[in-house]
Structure 1
């Protein structure tokens, strides 16, 4: 029985739990059945009243509706279940593979990212591609990243082993395939998320032990990343200036990333564009010369020189305006922030554009709060 049918059958036989802070709360029997089912299930452990769970709610509802392989656990009601599963903060998202193994989900908290993750979980860590037709089809199998190894079956056996190990480590973020080749070996990476329509990147010199792992990690790295406890150190020590975009919802941050990709590619040698959860990292806003109540908001930071350049929150936000702002900073036309608290804007109506407006602009021009678990 497919998991979606199993969940429907169990839910129909269970008491209706109703809604809690926007969440459609599911009975404990439904969740336990999903965890024990012979098919993959993505489970969100939540405390509905926390800010992080409120931010996740609409994205998760989309996942549940689209996949039929997702369920949520309200840990304020089913405390023992969450304790048994070792959940200590919320939301925690885990994949149950039908064999008793649970894997933490560490990707973006957006519906598109979580649905892509579920699709990858249905494939083996490395897909064997038999012919050129299969290779061509596999290039578009993943909306994010596809990595293919073209290796000789005997001469490159050691590279096959290394590639399989890298795939096992990163299958949750990319799709991996391998095809036999009599030509000199190569690893090819298609970043369909950030560089769609552009030539793939190719690795041919694989003599160094870390050549394949480094190549894959570099290719998978998002052009516009997300600021978090896990990424903070690398971002601040990158040697580049950071362009922060603060927004409250994953949908806003995802729309911004889509709108700004062309600009981020143009300046990637010098700038790192990152999105920030304005709820979870609200304390960062005044530290960058921004007001908490006016969102979305943008600021540029040069960690090497300790300089901060807050974008005027009374102005419109669009890809074109942000690009103009960073070029003016580079040419010395914008003075670094002197630490003076920013004044309240006369009107917040024009301080920002909607995600759809930002995306449209990008196309014309060319990823007390509840802690995130297991990031």
Structure 2
């Protein structure tokens, strides 16, 4: 059944088609996946239903067309077929639309983006990458190389508690947006990466550390990052101004960290 790792989820239809689940193994994303799988990959959405449709999923793509356009319609439907297991897709047709285009609504970060040059064969892929990139993603084995090689310094938040990580993301999102050009904020499930907190100067399974990817310096944060975003902001400013001292590889008790540091 083409299972590469466990646990694995597949959605089987009566016609024999199969859809692979690629999301996190949590109840809410799995429920959203099943709801999408039970619907057509693209829904025709009347104008009066547009607002409700947009609010119905974390990421929603809407093709807004001036009239019947077979080429754009087919282009959008092929794209939706590829990604309908992860996102919702709709088409609305109206003579009042200024020009044909596709809009993506990111309801997690409350942002929206558009692609209006649909002659570009990569327009929708670019739109997808731009719209679905989370401001503070969770570091996983699948995406770790992308974030570690981004060229931006990393702000890690470690916790083995999902609710705690979600509270941190909610509290730190404005700060992460402000520093997005220079810093990549990520959360880390310390149960999945048990050695990483200690290697970055975080004594327990929970905490925050900043790593300068250019010179390797590490700056552990002392305090509750989720409860004090203002202090995290000041901490980042202190690092940028050279007022914060990098970690020397030792913990407060004088105990050395791992030899590899």
Would you call these one fold, judging by a TM-score over 0.5?
yes
Unpaired stretches in structure 1, ≥5 consecutive residues: 1-84, 346-375
Instruction: Please report the TM-score for the alignment, with normalisation by the length of structure 1.
Output: 0.61
Report Cα offsets for 1:256-304 as digits up to 9, x if no partner: 222322222222222221111111111222321222xx13211112223
Deviation, 1:153, is 4.6
Unpaired stretches in structure 2, ≥5 consecutive residues: 255-261
Q: How far apart are the structure 2 equivalents of 1:256 and 1:112?
A: 19
Cα-Cα RMSD = 2.3
Moved more, 88-97 or 323-332: 88-97
Of the candidates 63, 76, 90, which is equivalent to residue 163 of structure 1?
A: 76
Instruction: Name the counterpart of 2:258.
Output: none
Number of residues of Structure 1 aligned to a counterpart in Structure 2: 250
Q: How far apart are the structure 1 equivalents of 2:26 and 2:172?
A: 17
Q: How far apart are the structure 1 equivalents of 2:25 and 2:232?
A: 25
Q: How far apart are the structure 1 equivalents of 2:178 and 2:162?
A: 24
Aligned residue for 2:176, secondary structure, equals helix
Tell whether 2:205 aligns with 1:289.
no
Instruction: Name the counterpart of 2:28.
Output: 112
Aligned residue for 2:219, secondary structure, equals strand
Larger helix fraction of residues = 1
Compare relative contact order (CA 8 Å, sep 6+) and give the higher one, 1 or 2: 1
Deviation, 1:219, is 0.2
Q: How far apart are the structure 1 equivalents of 2:215 and 2:14?
A: 51
Tell whether 2:86 aligns with 1:173.
yes
Sort the Cα spacing of 1:321 and 1:108 in 2 relative to 1 into closer, same or farther, 3 A. Answer: farther
Instruction: Name the counterpart of 2:62.
Output: 148
Aligned residue for 1:224, secondary structure, equals coil
Deviation, 1:251, is 2.7
Aligned residue for 2:247, secondary structure, equals coil
Q: How far apart are the structure 2 equivalents of 1:118 and 1:165?
A: 20
Sort the Cα spacing of 1:169 and 1:88 in 2 relative to 1 into closer, same or farther, 3 A. Answer: closer
Instruction: Please report the TM-score for the alignment, with normalisation by the length of structure 2.
Output: 0.85
